[in-house]
Structure 1
Amino acid sequence: MTTGPRKATDEQVSGGDGTERPRLTPAQRLHLDVYGFVLLENVLTQHEVARMKDALYRLKAEPDLSARGVYVNSRSAHFLSIGHLVEYDQALLDYAAHPALVPLVEELVGGRVRLEESEAIINRRDPDAPAESGPVPGSKKRVEPLGFHTGVRHGWGTYHADHHFHCLFAKTLAYLTDVGPDDGGTAVIPGSHRLGWPQQDIIDAAREDERLVHQVEATAGSVLLFAESLVHSSTAVRSDRERAVMICGYTPPMMREWPGNEPSPEFVASLPDHLRPLLGGGDSWPWDR
């Protein structure tokens, strides 16, 4: 059981072997520019996935999450959504500062970033929910978005530089379980990250033609990187499997964390010097790009 602030190790932050910071491949960068998301397959090791799941399921068993500094968005027998996780366990901090992921986030944002939020969802099919209709004849997938939304909108949270799309609010979503077409995978409206349409008009238009909605399927250890200007939603779980994901949000250092994700001064002070800007943010507008 974690009882105090945790430190990310030097090896975890730097890679430990002097290797260059990873970058998106040209194909990944093109996919991100065109569609607003890219699935990074098998980024996390089985050991990393197991450590993260262990921490989250210990949190799920906690009777009083507020005593652990964790807030609850929703909690029921079949659905748990919680946040402010990085001070609870080393494995969750290591994911937020993962050396294979943070540089890719910075490519999307366009410069150095800070952690804006850390959240997780553990959910399974609601046994009391009414039966849902099956797939449309001829369709390969059954997509039932539960609530399309964005975190920023194109035009005031996005920009173009060096021939690439950038978004000031980006997220990584780690799959800690395999997610197939019936397992509640994230649904996105590809290309919506660059549209100035009213958001509801985008959603209404996409609902008219299911080909405009893509549901992500992934294996445990894969990570979805996406711009928060992308219209996206979780989907209904139809299988008997439980889904577990962890989500981290990132913004430029001078922007504020999501309410409830403010790091404690003791936690920030415990971190290595080079990691403090990622977890603690910055106090001025000059941006290392």
Structure 2
Amino acid sequence: MDVAIIGGRLDLGAGRRGVEMGPAAIRTAGLREHLVRLGHRIVADEDVALPEGVPVDVGDPTVKYADAVAAVAARLSETVRGHLVAGAVPVVLGGDHSLAIGSIAGAAAAASGRLGVIWIDAHGDVNTPETTPSGNIHGMPLAVALGYGDARLVAVGGPGAKVRPEAVVMLGLRDLDPGEKAFIRRLGLQAYTMHDIDRYGMSAVLERALSALPPVEALHVSLDLDALDPSDAPGVGTPVPGGITYREAHLAMEMLYETGLVRSVDVVEVNPILDERNRTAIAAVRLVGSLLGDRLL
């Protein structure tokens, strides 16, 4: 397939520095070369434009740097949509998870409203300015995609929600704020915690999740590397013990590839400052490979 690699060196949505170097770390770990070995054609390898200079003022403390994040997300939305319309699979390298505001908006525009989102993350990322304990936007992107939150963010890529609640699957959850728990229950989201994965196994959980999705034209997979256990992915900003194992993550990627519906991907929150010999970026490369067709045999 044709693949467009898009770097998003954004850290304004996070609470600490370092994730802005994530795209470089993933590229250094050999993403392009790995995808070429799988037979894919790299049609673009570019970075989305960032604001000139780092904003000094966070603005509203309940939604920090919202103007700058919205501007980057809008550019990313157009970039993702353009590559999808041209027939390529955009692979967005983060950077913090606020980038998903733009990538999901672009994917939704190309899917004519029939987009499914697979959100693989230790965290729910469904806070709003009213529920956030930190004001960091990387804890809000899925809520924004569902049409909730700051108006500047919800408007990225067009007004309103970009994905329906019934077309969302959350996988690997183990650290939720009280407001996020209430949000998930209120919208009836398919939310699978590590308890579910431990009890039933990754295969059964994902089979159940995919079978419960409504008919969709495309799947957008948004992978936060903190979904993995820190023993397998130490280089993330918000590690939470007890996560998805490396092999469970590969199984999930392989099963998602087998749907034939994966059209766009986020790989975010790799923080090389906190990593060990680029282990987390290497894991990211191999997981993207499995999502795009790599097999053990």
**Structure with larger RCO (C-alpha < 8 A, sep 6+):** 1
Q: Under TM normalisation by the shorter chain, which class is it?
A: under 0.3
* Larger gyration radius, structure 1 or structure 2: 1
The structure with the largest helix share of the pair is: 2
TM-score by length of 2: 0.27
